[in-house]
A and B are shown apart, each in its own frame.
Chain A
C-alpha cells in the first residue's frame, strides 16, 4: 500500500432539504482510505451509511445535497465537479456496485450488451477489445463467458451479483464502492461472494468501501471498520481491534446482538429502543437514550470523535476515563441462546 491516500473525506455533511426544514443525514464524517485498503462501514437503517456512499460517489439526487465538506479522490475534490468532469473518473478510477443486481441490471439487455454499453461510455471502442475484456472480467468472478449472452433473469441471484462486480472491474478502478452487495443472497452464496471480492481485491490492489449492516460478515475481510449511528461516525479503527476491544457502547451492543453458532448459550439483550428521528435528535450524545452506560453528562455534552488507543471513538465517558475499558469489556465473545 502506498502512502498517498486514494480517498480523503473531510468534514462531509449531507442534508435532505424537506418542506419542514433540513434534515442532516450525514454529520461531519471524515476518514482516509489508502491504496488497496478494505474499509467496512457498518450501521443499521437510518444511520446514513448509504447516503454517505452516494455522497462519495457523487450520486446524490435532490432533495439530498452536500451541505459542507470535501471528497478528495486521488487529489481532486469531487464535490462541485460537473457531470462531464466526473465522467472522466467514473468507472475508470472509481466504480460502484449497488445493493440489488435485479434493480441495477437492465432486464431487457443481455449481460454482454450492458458491459459493452459501459465500455463504450468510458472509452475502449474496439469491438474485439470489448469482447475480450468482457470475457476476462466474467472469468475473474468465476462465471463462464458464455453467459455474456444471458439475460439477468436467466442467472441466479449470486451470478447476477457477481456480474455486477465484474462490471465494476471492467477498467480496473482504484476504488470500488459497494452498497450491501450480498444482502439479497443466501448465506452460502454470500460467503463465496465475499471470498471472491477479497481475492480480487488482493490480486488487483483496488481499495474497497463496503457498506453493510452485517458486522460478522465483514469481520474477516475488512482492514478497518467504521461504525455509524444517526449520521455520525461512532467508532473507527482496525477491524480486529474493534472486534476484540469495542470501545463505543453501540459497537458493543451490535456485537452482542449476534447470537453465536458455537460456545455456551446465554440470554442476549440486543439494544432496546429505536434509532432517533433525525429531525428531532436528543440533546448531547445521540446514542445516549439507548446506552446502558449513560450518565447525566451524556445528555449535556455532544461528544467529539477522538483518538483513543489507536481507535477513533465518540464517547464522553471513554474519553474522560470514567468508563475504563477493562471494567466492562465483553468484546466479541458473547454467546447467546434462549432454548430450554
Chain B
C-alpha cells in the first residue's frame, strides 16, 4: 500500500544547496537546503510539504537540474545524476524527470498556441516521431489530461487557469516521464478546480505508472492525493513517513503545529496555533541545533546544541527531533 516496498526510482543523499547572498563582498550563505535525504519509488505520489523558506521549491529545482547541489548526490535509476555529461544523457534525464510549474499564467508562453510546448517536448525527446505522428501524440496527451484535442490550436489567454495547468501536465506527459516534479501545481487555482487537477495526478499514477513529487504547503490536499509525506522546515526534513500515519500521529512538534493550523470547519479551533506568532526563519549561516527550537514549547538544552538527525521511530516513519527520539509519546506540543 505504501511506497516502502516499491522499486526505488530516485534517491537523494545528503542534498545541500546554499546560495550566496548580499553584495559582491559579502560572505553570507543562505542555507536553502541542508543535508536532505529521501527516496521516491515507482508509482507513488510523495508530498513534500512545508511553508515558505522550507526549501521545498529549491529541492525541486535541484532535482530538475536547474541548480547544481552544493554537496550531496542524486541517484536516478541507480545512477548518479552528477555524472550525466553528454547532451543526450542530460536530455534523457530531463525527459524522464520533467517539472510542472506553479503559475498557470506564467508557465505557458503567451505568444504561441498551447500545442507549442507539447510539440517541442516531443521533438526534443522523441525524435523518431514524424510530423503527423507528433500531432497525433499531442492530441492523445491532451486528452489524457482531460483537455479536448481541438484546444491544441488555442492561445493561452483563451484558456482558464485550470486548463493551463493541464497543459503543463500535458507537456510533461509528452516526454513519457517516470517522475513528475509538480511545484505547487494547484496553489494558484480556484478551490473548485483544484480537486480536478489532484484527481488527474492520481489518475496518471494509476494508469501510466508515473510517480509524482507533489510540492505543496497545503497538507489537506497532500492527504487527499499522496501516499507518503515529507515535512520540511527551514531547509531540513522534520518528519517523513506514510501519510496517514504521519497525520494520525505526528511525532515532530512542527508537524503538529502545521496540522493544528489547518483550517477545518468541522473541528473547533485549536488554541495553540492561535498563539504561535513565529514564522519560518531565513537560514543564514546557522549555528548547530534544531532550527525549530525558537518556536518549540518542548525545547531543551540539547536542542540548542546538537542538530537533530532524521531517525526511524516506527517502520517507515522518521522524525528529526531529540525529544521524539527519546520517547515519542512525550511529544505533545500543539494539540
Contact = CB atoms under 8 A, between A and B. Distances in A.
Nearest to B275: A192
Interface stretch (A56-64, A104-112, A330-338): A330-338
B202 interface: yes
B277 A191 contact: no
B259 A261 contact: yes
B45 A186 contact: no
B264 A216 contact: yes
Interface string A237-267: 0000001000000000111011111110101
Interface in A298-340: 332-333, 336-340
B220 A259 contact: yes
Given A216-B265, A220-B263, 7 more contacts: A186-B279, A187-B263, A191-B261, A265-B223, A332-B266, A338-B199, A338-B225
A261 to B, nearest CB: 5
A142 B196 CA distance: 39
A192 B220 CA distance: 18
A156 B53 CA distance: 12
A265 B202 CA distance: 14
A261 B198 contact: no
Given A142-B277, A258-B191, A267-B199, A219 B265 contact: yes
Interface string A199-215: 00000000000000111
Contacts of B4: none
A45 B277 contact: no
A195 interface: yes
A291 interface: no
B279 A214 contact: no
A188 B263 contact: no
B117 to A, nearest CB: 21
Contact of A195 (B52, B199, B227, B274): B274
A258 B278 CA distance: 26
Contacts of A158: 277, 279
A156 B280 CA distance: 10
Contact of A213 (B45, B190, B258, B278): B190
23 contacts: A44-B190, A45-B161, A45-B190, A142-B277, A187-B261, A187-B262, A188-B51, A188-B279, A192-B276, A195-B269, A213-B191, A216-B264, A258-B220, A261-B247, A261-B259, A261-B262, A262-B266, A262-B267, A265-B224, A270-B192, A337-B223, A337-B224, A339-B243
Most chain B CB within 10 A, of A190, A258, A268, is at A258
Contacts of A339: 45, 202, 223-227, 243-244
B126 interface: no
Task: Enumerate the 7 nearest inter-chain pairs by beta-carbon distance, A residue then B residue, closest first.
Answer: A270-B195, A219-B265, A259-B224, A271-B192, A186-B51, A44-B190, A338-B202
B39 interface: no
A268 B191 CA distance: 12
Contacts of B258: 187-188
A281 interface: no
Given A187-B258, A332-B266, A192 B277 contact: yes
Contacts of B100: none
Given A187-B217, A191-B263, A339-B227, A220 B269 contact: yes
Nearest to B273: A191
B162 A274 contact: yes
B263 A260 contact: no
B82 interface: no
A217 interface: yes
Interface string B277-312: 111100000000000000000000000000000000
B257 interface: yes
Given A217-B263, A332-B266, A186 B52 contact: yes
B218 interface: yes
Contacts of A332: 265-266
B160 interface: yes
A142 B163 CA distance: 42
A214 B218 CA distance: 12
B264 A44 contact: no
A157 B279 contact: yes
A269 interface: yes
Contacts of A188: 51, 257-258, 261, 273, 276, 278-279
Nearest to A187: B261
A85 B243 CA distance: 57
B74 interface: no
A216 B263 contact: yes
